[in-house]
Amino acid sequence: MAGEKAIILVEDNYEDPEFWYPYYRLKEEGFEVTIVAPEKKRTYGSKHGYPVISEATPEEINIDDIAVVVVPGGFAPDRLRRYDSILELLRAADRNGAVIASICHAAWVAISAGITKGRRMTCVKAIKDDLVNSGANFVDEALVIDGNMVTSRTPADLPVFVKGIIDAIKPR
């Protein structure tokens, strides 16, 4: 995976392990990982107060260079889905066939981007109805891969989630 580029989206109240586990695993695989948020060089806090500093805004990303977009859960997705630039980034990534990896509440961002209809996906049960109402086919499994969409339910699913991300990128 050396030379591949990944972005991880962040906003306040992100779920700590759902951000950091993929971040470090992708780096271990050789990915160049960029932290993307609505504001550049801003410190965002996790649900437990752990800080992360954003490195770029969506407008600064050349989506043609990106192999994977990771959207961690927590309550950050409820904030992320309010930014048109974030939603357009996800739409562009989907059009380009980049892997879009969402865990837990992160399906909210894909729902708001309008890229869930007809897809097999999973999420935390708290937003299952939102996913179903968006036209997705909800599956209650630890890992669901449908084309370039990789989804998982909760932090307990992180080992298969990140393996699924890496496996989904290999055919590129």
Q: How far apart are CA 46 and CA 102, in angstroms?
A: 17
Active-site residue identified among 105, 131, 152, 153: 105
Reply yes or no on whether 105 is catalytic: yes
151 forms beta bridges with 102, 144
Give the H or E element holding residue 71: strand 66-71
Q: Are 117 and 135 in contact, with CB atoms under 8 Å apart? A: yes
Q: Which two tokens stand for residue 7?
A: 């972005």
Q: Report how far residue 34's alpha carbon sits from residue 114's, in angstroms, rounded to the nearest whole number.
A: 24
Q: Residue 156 gets which letter from DSSP? A: G
**Which residues are identified as catalytic?**
105
